[in-house]
A and B are shown apart, each in its own frame.
Chain A
């Protein structure tokens, strides 16, 4: 009769206790899988909103532009640099920026105008797919603009509505034009939501009398799994005389939060599992005290201390495996449901952001190998740690005292 068989029978002996312990362990595992998946979902959505909706992996600017976004401080001959960057295996999109006032009816608001090369932009970001209503920019409709959701609210405007822009052109004249709203974006980030007004590059250049140059070149790696630092070094070498910053430098708060996410997850897991460990410790200690006499007999007939430790560990291992199956079945099932349907927090979190990056009001889980395996791995580690004391206690039992234990 092998140790696994004995362990199996032992855990079936007091099945009420086994059931409660296993269910508690399984429930903790399930909660942690859901929590980890929701965290992953939130973080990936945040990174997506920051990088693939707005920043790109890196940005090239004329020196000083970020501190003082002056219409005249531009990247000279951006076409040549974009071509160079693309030849090096990256996607690149030139952008133009300016500021002014938009008005619709009696409402008005300060806006940040962005002129985009829409073909290049859709290689770099996914913002063209992030529309709440209407359609994305089109070169055949130069007077059609796309605006942020909060700006639309401020101006009280909807798709098809008209707005007037007033600003200053590069030649000192008044930049003034009537536009119609083609589309309204979903939440991207504070700035874009509140003041973002997107138009095609040609319309921007006409409005601001800006025939050449760009304010920004957004760059995206073709393979995002490749090292960002090394990619940046390549762009820095190509964009001599300009400032190159990666998205982590552009959104340091978001980068730090994402960096800390794994640590936060592990802290949460450890806190939750400490409670589980107490339960396992208590259950196994009760199991050991109930069986002191039996362990004494086993030792008397020649079972070695380490064999008793192995037996108790196998009992816990079986329970942890059962708990893991419960956690996997319900956790993965629940996380898949939350990945597809999400939790609608629109009432509470509409327009919420952190580090300037929008938080999606539909909080979706993201099921990854990591979000499943980390909670399961920690469940095993904590169970194995918590059973150490009962196992050693069983192993150290003096057979003579144990046999006469009442």
Chain B
């Protein structure tokens, strides 16, 4: 595997049972995500974008084929090893923010670092630096229900990148925010990608995200329709 490849998807098929009917969410998909990429999985609803993202994140396992993240075949890892991998190497940004409601913005980001065993001084430096970058330094001690959708998504991004993950998987990150907030979130993620080298993989059908992505991976009915790298 070349050093610059973070994710390898090799002939992955994912089949679900909906009642007695088999649904092929992903069919024989092969992909590579290189380090520092800013890519978007796009396509209509049901095209398999989220399923691919879930499989890369170790939240779901392929029916056939394999997903390799930094050299680890995810299907061979135990639940505990997958938890560790998700904790240390993957950042998640969800459509519905999915912050932990009893924790403040700072604590949401701090929580994962505590799980990693990072020392308190380092945690404070790292979290406050990112919160400053995402413009939430003043809101560090607010809880999610005291923040707007855009602010919550910024906290989610802070949480996702605070651990220095190999890749950030962002599932429809702009779906629940207004246009202005969406643009500012994308600015932020693009900046983190360009300046910090954080790899982002989006699942989206938002044209604003697609416009910004340097690579568009179009899926249709679970199959790769087009893999387009843009300048």
Contacts and interface: CB of A to CB of B under 8 A. Distances in A.
Asked if A and B are interacting partners, one says: yes
Interface of A: 1-2, 6, 9-10, 13, 293-294, 297-305, 307, 399-400, 403
Contacts of A304: 80, 83-84
A218 to B, nearest CB: 68
A403 B83 contact: no
Given A301-B112, A400-B59, A294 B100 contact: yes
Interface in B58-99: 59-60, 79-80, 83-84, 86-88, 92, 94, 98-99
Contacts of B44: none
Nearest to A395: B79
A13 to B, nearest CB: 6
Given A1-B114, A302-B112, A297 B98 contact: yes
Contacts of A297: 94, 98-100
A68 B115 CA distance: 81
A302 B103 contact: no
Interface in B106-161: 107, 110-112, 114-116, 159
Nearest to B98: A297
7 A-B pairs with least C-beta separation: A302-B87, A9-B102, A400-B59, A297-B98, A1-B107, A302-B86, A304-B83
A2 B116 CA distance: 13
Given A294-B101, A399-B59, A403-B98, A302 B107 contact: no
Nearest to A307: B115
B54 A298 contact: no
B222 interface: no
B43 interface: no
Nearest to A8: B102
Contacts of B86: 300-302
Nearest to B116: A302
A302 B58 CA distance: 11
Contacts of A299: 83
Nearest to A9: B102
Contact of A302 (B54, B88, B99, B102): B88
19 contacts: A1-B107, A1-B114, A2-B114, A10-B102, A297-B98, A298-B100, A301-B92, A301-B111, A301-B112, A302-B83, A302-B84, A302-B88, A302-B116, A304-B80, A305-B79, A305-B83, A400-B54, A403-B59, A403-B98
Contacts of A303: 83, 87, 115
Which one of B99, B100, B111, B116 has the highest number of Cβ atoms from chain A below 10 Å of its Cβ? B100
Nearest to A305: B79
A293 B144 CA distance: 15
Nearest to A298: B100
A302 B98 contact: no
A300 B59 contact: yes
B88 to A, nearest CB: 7
A1 B101 contact: no
Contacts of B98: 293, 297, 300, 403
A304 B114 CA distance: 13
A403 B92 CA distance: 12
A7 B54 CA distance: 29
